[in-house]
Structure 1
Amino acid sequence: MTEVGLRGSFSAPVAGVARRRSRRRAGSAGYFFVAGYAILLVAFGIVPTLYAFYLAFTNEKGQFTGLNQFVKVVQDYRFAPAFLHVGVYLVLWLAILMVLTVTVAIILRGRLRPGLSAALRFLYYIPGALAGVASVLVWLFMLDPSVSPAAGLLRLFGFESFAQVLGPANLPVIFVLIAFWTGAGGWIVVMYGALNNIPDDVLEAARIDGAGAWKTARYIQIPMIGKWIAYMAILAFAGGTQLFIEPQMLQTASLGRLDPAWSPNQLAYVLAFRYGDFNGAAAVSLILLVLGLICAGLLVRRSGLFKVDSE
């Protein structure tokens, strides 16, 4: 056998071993990067959830009580109003978020110059850099007619004092304004990125066929980013059901004018830390969890979020 033949006969197995080692190293790197999230998920997600299940089905003595804790919290006079408040807030929040963020992203993508579009995306994103408490403090200043730079606008709507602004009927709108101001900018950037994935030849074909901006957005752009819109709706819904910081801060700033159990999360907090009823608080938390999972499941199924597109 010639030298070249010997070299060729050994090169194939060696190359195969090298490829296998490379794949193993790549797999090990993947496990390493996933490990950090997995540890945090188990420590701060799965374990607390399991503990909440234990508390919700037992009493303070650790005795199994079945659904008694759930019956008790559902019959609480604060339970229905808390969920109704958050329900109204979620309807307003999701409707405004999905309509305005997608509309603004489409305008930035196709109707403005690239430089101006980039500058506006940056400006929209700035409020999202503020933590939840900081953003609420900003809005406390903005909503007080005695110090707000928008005092004239507030008085135009008939609000002469901070107490009038914080009327019960106004609270869902106030929380939507705070949530939109802090969260919409990030989603505009996400939707803009999703629109960038639409091939230019598809949009060009629509223009050649005579489709204007409205028809292109309705029949091409929005359907092609439908999964991203569903993803936004799921996360926004999950975050909305956890409403706590905003009503809690307003309740403190208004010296108790707001109901301390305005939202389900506040109700759970009151049960746990004012009355020491951790079992009831766990039951409220699990009800929120189940409702969130059901709504997320419906959105995933209707949108085909995890459906793999066939080649």
Structure 2
Amino acid sequence: MLLLLAFGIVPMLYALYLAFTKRGQFVALDNFVKVFGDFRFFPAVQHVALFVAIWLVSLLLLVVVLALIVQAVRVRWVSATTRFLFYIPGALAGSASVLLWLFLLDPSVSPIAVLLQQFGFDSFITTVAQTNLPVIFTIIAFWVGAGGWIIIMFGALNTISTDVMEAARIDGAGPLKTAWYIQIPLMRKWIVYMAIVSIAAGSQLFVEPRVLSQASRGVVPKDYSLNQLAYQFAFGTQSDYNGSAAISILLLVVAAGLAAIFVFRGGLFDRD
């Protein structure tokens, strides 16, 4: 609770104060109007929205499918080894994972250079072109975060009663029907929880575009994401902490709104 207050609630309240003031004076929505009027704001919104959409859909589908496959493996050591291999990338720090992908995305040194060249990427600059970034960031985010979610979904699958699974088999349900009508509905709350956390994490996109921006010498813009734009407001030439706080509050409101939709539509707190 103390850590939550110190590093969560108090900074949020301070950001609220900064977002509605300027030099200690209350200015209503002036900081938000200024942010909306910045030519970099709406492109950053589009970048983050596209990334979150691709990331969320791919994460929900692939994590659930992979968890079902791992849980279906009856050889214990194979299942345990697979889960361990899935989890290894999640043990790396986000920046370390991005550095690894810098190596993989450069056709001149990458072990998958042949595959990159098949897609027409003959240099690092062409690989990290802006049109490719949502997919690249999705791959990096999946590499880092999917393993932990697969293990969580695996645990959720193991909580399903063996009597229910046996009844499905007796009724003649195959693996696909069992997954669609039994396992996935019973995993619904875990899937909703994964969606909420992933939206919150995805909307905070910062490390990946920042490292790629430095590595590509500006091919990836310094204000590609909203968090990067907030960073530029605060620590760039503007030194505008109030505008930066306004962006952070906007991110908070959007993430909280989307989370509320998933909570109430997904029945996260409903009793079974």
* TM-score normalized with structure 1 length: 0.86
Pairs within 5 Å for 1:106-255:
106-255=68-217
1:54-69 → structure 2 map (5 Å cutoff): 54-59=17-22, 61-69=23-31
Give the deviation of 1:112 after TM superposition: 4.3
Counterpart amino acid of residue 144 in structure 2: T
**Counterpart code for 2:36:** V
The 2-side partners of 1:76 and 1:103 are apart by 42
User: Which among 49, 56, 59 is matched to residue 87 of structure 1?
Assistant: 49
Q: How many angstroms does 1:308 deviate by?
A: 3.0
Looking at structure 2, the residues matched to 283 and 179 of structure 1 have their Cα atoms a distance apart, in angstroms, of: 26
In 1, Cα distance between the equivalents of 2:269 and 2:234? 37
Give 1:279's aligned residue: 242
Amino acid aligned to 2:46: L
| 1:221 aligned partner, one-letter code | Q
1:40 has 2:3 as partner: yes
1:201: how far off? Answer: 1.1
Secondary structure, aligned partner of 2:233: helix
Q: 1:289, CA displacement in angstroms?
A: 0.2
Q: 1:261 aligns with which of 223, 231, 243?
A: 223
Report the secondary structure of 1:255's partner residue. coil
* More divergent stretch after superposition (129-138 vs 112-121): 112-121
Q: How much does 1:115 deviate?
A: 1.6
Counterpart of 2:142 in 1: which secondary structure?
A: helix
Structure with the bigger RCO (C-alpha within 8 Å, sep 6+) is 2
Aligned residue pair count: 271
Please give the TM-score of this superposition, normalised by the length of structure 2. Answer: 0.98
Q: What is the one-letter code of the residue matched to 2:221? A: D
- The one-letter code sitting in structure 1 at the alignment partner of 2:145 is G
Output the amino acid matched with 2:231: Y
Cα separation, 2, equivalents of 1:89 and 1:127: 20
What do the CA deviations read for 1:110-162 (whole angstroms, capped 9, x no partner)?
24422211110000000000001100000000000000000011001100000
Alignment-mate amino acid for residue 244 of structure 1: F
Correspondence for 1:50: 13
Amino acid at match of 2:246: A
Identity of aligned residues (%): 58
SS of the residue aligned with 2:243? helix
Aligned partner of 1:239: which letter? A
Name the stretch that deviates more: 106-115 or 92-101: 106-115
- Tell me which of 304, 308, 311 is aligned to 2:267: 304
Question: Offset at 1:108?
Answer: 1.0
SS in structure 1 at match of 2:152: helix
d(CA) in 1 for partners of 2:172, 2:128? 50
**CA offsets, 1:153-203, max 9 Å, x none?**
100110000000011100000000000001000000000000000011101
Q: In structure 2, what residue type is equivalent to 1:292?
A: A
Q: Which runs of 5+ in 2 are unaligned?
A: none
Structure number, greater radius of gyration: 1
Aligned position for 1:70: 32
Unmatched tracts of structure 1, length 5 or more: 1-37
Separation in 2, partners of 1:279, 1:205 = 60
Give me the whole-angstrom Cα distance separating, in 2, the residues matched to 1:110 and 1:175. Answer: 30
